[in-house]
Structure formats: structure tokens, C-alpha cells
Chains A and B, each alone.
Chain A
């Protein structure tokens, strides 16, 4: 591990931790509604107009961006160590780092773009 990656470690851990909190607070209810309850017809989903009104609010855009970004960095950090410990593939260290954090960065840019262009 180089000095540069070692000094990034606390920052990555903070992103992991903050993402863990936000994901725990908000994702279960969102999965329950959009992933399970609406598709199964237990509840009726918000209309397109309602969803768009919610999404176009600046507070919603910023909150969703923060939720997406931090959750992705939470995934990147945790998944990286899952691969280290679970599968013991430490020799692929560099590739894993690039895939995990690179994926989180690409996902964050995609989230920013999508939330920016909500009408």
C-alpha cells in the first residue's frame, strides 16, 4: 500500500460510515415501496406527475444525490474488504480498488447528471 492510498483511508472510511447511516435510514422504506409493495399491488404508486413534482424539488435532488453517492462509496469500501477477507484475493488489490472506487465515482457522476436534468 502506498503512502497516498494509506492517507486516503480515513476519508474512505468516513464515506463508508456516512453511507452506512444514510442507507440504513432511507433505503429499506424505498425498497419496500418501489421494489415490493408497488409491484405487488399492495399500495398504488405515486402518479407520474407527483413523482416529478417530488423529484424537481431542490431539497429532494440534493438529498437523493447525497444518498446515492454515499451509498455507492459505502458499497465500494465494504465490498473491497469482502473480496479481501471473504474470497482472499488480496493479490488483485489494485484491480479491485479501481473497480470499486471507480464504480462509485462513475455512479455518482451518473446520479448528478440524472438529477440535474430532471425537468
Chain B
């Protein structure tokens, strides 16, 4: 250590408490936070799954049927059940958080958060119904 560095001879120790790698297991709210973060991995998996479906459909009826058979595979099906849990968890927490992210005012009064969250959940229901109708109307 040189004099020019501006340090004292006895350099003080940094106060940096070491955080456990598993800090998020200490409280339920921490765990919920990390589960929300992890949901993004399942979203990415689903994009890959969707792209495989699109590829199979483009390749022809046989490839499409093969994809449908593969979707019932002993690994793929449980993975998608877990994916469903995480994407629903993502959607619920995302829409519940919407009032914090967007402050809507009508005139000078602030639209209550509950109303904003409710309208987001309603949009989710409408979007789901629309997709469901598009995919199931042939039956």
C-alpha cells in the first residue's frame, strides 16, 4: 500500500455481511419472489414448444400427429403440467401488480388499484376465451 493511495496503514475491513446463496428460502415472500422470477424459464420453454408445434404443422399431417403423440410423452406431459402452474402463477401475480405499474387518473381522481387489476384479469379471461374458441370451434 503506497502513501499516495490515501489509505491508512491499517486498512479498515469492509462491512459486507455474506448472504447465503439460499437466502430466498428464509421467508415465504422471498420464495414467492424467486418463484415468480423462475416462471420466466417456463415461459421460454413454452415458446420453444410452440415453435416445435408450428414446425411440425408446416411439415405435414404426419409430423403434426407425431408432435401430438410426443406431447403425451412421460417427460413432456409432466413438464407441461408444471409449466401450466408457473405460467398461471406468472399471470396472476403480473396482473395483481398492474396497479403498481400503471397509475390511471380520470380527471383528478386516481382509478382504484382494484379496478385496474380487475380489468387486467378480465382481459386475460377474454383473451383465453378467444384463443379457446379459435382452437376448439371445429368440435
Contacts and interface: CB of A to CB of B under 8 A. Distances in A.
B123 A25 contact: yes
Contacts of A64: 50, 54
A30 B95 contact: no
Contacts of A10: none
B61 A78 contact: no
Interface string A9-50: 000000001011101111111111111101110011111111
A119 B44 CA distance: 25
How big is the B interface, by class?
35 or more
A75 B84 contact: no
Interface in B26-67: 34, 37-41, 43-44, 46-51, 53-55, 57-58, 60-61, 64-65
The winner among B19, B76, B135 for most chain A CB atoms within 10 A is: B135
Nearest 9 A/B pairs, CB to CB: A35-B80, A78-B40, A24-B91, A75-B44, A39-B72, A29-B128, A82-B37, A48-B61, A25-B127
Interface of A: 17, 19-21, 23-36, 38-40, 43-52, 54-55, 64, 67-68, 71-72, 74-75, 78-79, 81-82, 85-88, 103, 107, 110-111, 114-115, 117-119
Given A38-B68, A64-B50, 14 more contacts: A27-B91, A31-B83, A33-B135, A33-B136, A34-B50, A35-B84, A39-B77, A45-B135, A48-B57, A79-B37, A82-B37, A82-B40, A111-B47, A114-B58
